[in-house]
């Protein structure tokens, strides 16, 4: 079985770093900072869309979108390292790998920063494939990145593990079962997302994969 994971809000809580990067960009623009909750509400469709939502909320000219996206990415890359694994993630990944499952990442985060996070947190060794949000011309919820990840893992039976409406839609569009981590960046109630099973504790994940 191939087990493919979303990254932000699923394996790692990266919101503090994203929040810091957005606020550093805003301060440089002479804008007041945003709350963590507000920034988290914009997460899910990749960095360009996040910056677009921030700019829209502050009435910043969209002609500067590319410039401010690059500035936010630079702040994220060079800023404080506050991202942490959710409890139980390394142990769950170890158990899945020992059980013979092939693991991959499909994220809307740009591939370079995604790989950096995985290396910084000691998770890179678990994943044979990482597909970032800048690999293709489309991002999740388009199924193409998820299907590319599965293809690069060798194809076959697979399951997608994520935390959000975007992830649920991506899995459905790709025709893959979806496991929902409930402690991430989901916007609405659990019951509004199509999923095979939901979990809040990563100790349950290996059993849910085996039952899928």
Q: What are phi and psi of 143, to 5 degrees?
A: -75, -10
Which long-range contacts does 148-156 make (Cβ < 8 Å, 24+ apart)?
Answer: 148/106, 149/4, 149/104, 149/105, 149/106, 150/2, 150/4, 150/104, 150/174, 150/176, 152/104, 152/128, 153/2, 153/4, 153/102, 153/104, 153/128, 153/129, 154/2, 154/102, 155/2, 156/1, 156/2
> 88, 17 in Cβ contact below 8 A?
no
For residue 210, give the nearest of 100, 73, 60, 66 by alpha carbon.
Answer: 100
Annotated active-site residue 6? The verdict is yes
For residue 194, give the nearest of 169, 173, 174, 211 by alpha carbon.
Answer: 169
Tokens 């932000």 belong to which residue?
8
6, 8, 13, 163: the active-site residue: 6
Q: What's the rounded Cα separation, in Å, for the pair 92 and 109?
A: 22
Element of type H or E holding 102:
strand 102-106
The catalytic residue positions are: 6
């Amino acid at each position: 079985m191939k087990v493919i994971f979303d990254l932000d809000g699923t394996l790692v809580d990266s919101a503090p770093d994203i929040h810091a990067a957005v606020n550093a960009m805003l301060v440089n623009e002479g804008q007041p900072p945003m709350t963590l909750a507000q920034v988290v509400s914009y997460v899910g469709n990749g960095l360009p869309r996040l910056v677009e939502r921030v700019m829209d909320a502050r009435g910043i000219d969209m002609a500067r979108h590319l410039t401010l996206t690059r500035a936010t990415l630079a702040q994220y890359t060079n800023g404080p390292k506050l991202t942490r694994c959710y409890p139980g993630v390394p142990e769950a990944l170890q158990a899945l790998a020992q059980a013979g499952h092939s693991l991959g990442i499909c994220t809307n985060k740009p591939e370079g920063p995604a790989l950096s996070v995985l290396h910084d947190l000691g998770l890179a060794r678990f994943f044979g494939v990482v597909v970032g949000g800048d690999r293709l011309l489309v991002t999740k919820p388009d199924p193409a990145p998820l299907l590319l990840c599965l293809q690069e893992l060798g194809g076959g039976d697979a399951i997608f593990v994520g935390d959000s409406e975007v992830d649920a839609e991506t899995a459905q569009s790709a025709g893959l079962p979806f496991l929902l981590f409930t402690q991430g960046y989901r916007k609405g109630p659990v019951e509004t997302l199509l999923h095979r099973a939901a979990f809040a504790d990563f100790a349950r994940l290996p059993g849910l994969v085996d039952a899928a």
